[in-house]
């Protein structure tokens, strides 16, 4: 599964940037997101500040910006 964080501009709602999560992040994401079942590859989730902060730890760099909202996508 490929997991990607997408950042959207709050004013325009256009995609501003995206970051792929490292391979092998499945188990950590299950905990961060509170998933109780495996993902199918078509899901998308709005991220809370707490979830984004934890995901930044997986990515290895800060990406939060108050001018954007963030979503996590699951892709096959």
The CATH number of whichever domain residue 35 belongs to comes to 3.10.50.20
- Tokens in use for 62? 């800060």
Distance separating the N- and C-terminal Cα atoms of the chain = 5
Radius of gyration over alpha carbons of the chain, in Å?
A: 12
Q: Which ranges constitute the DSSP H helices of the chain? A: 26-33, 49-59
What pLDDT, in 10s, does the model give residues 18-63? Answer: 999 999 999 999 999 999 999 999 999 999 999 999 999 999 999 9
**Residue-level pLDDT at 30:** 97
Q: Could you list the residue range(s) of the whole structural domain that residue 54 is in?
A: 2-75
Backbone angles phi, psi at 44, to 5 degrees: -145, 140
Indicate the pLDDT class of residue 12, thresholds 50, 70 and 90.
very high
- Report how many domains make up the chain: 1
């Amino acid at each position: 599964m490929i997991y990607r964080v997408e950042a959207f501009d709050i004013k325009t709602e256009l995609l501003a940037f995206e970051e792929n999560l490292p391979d092998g992040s499945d188990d950590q994401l299950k905990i961060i997101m509170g998933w109780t079942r495996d993902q199918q590859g078509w899901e998308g989730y709005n991220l809370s500040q707490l979830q984004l902060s934890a995901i930044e730890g997986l990515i290895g760099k800060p990406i939060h910006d108050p001018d954007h909202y963030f979503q996590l996508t699951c892709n096959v």
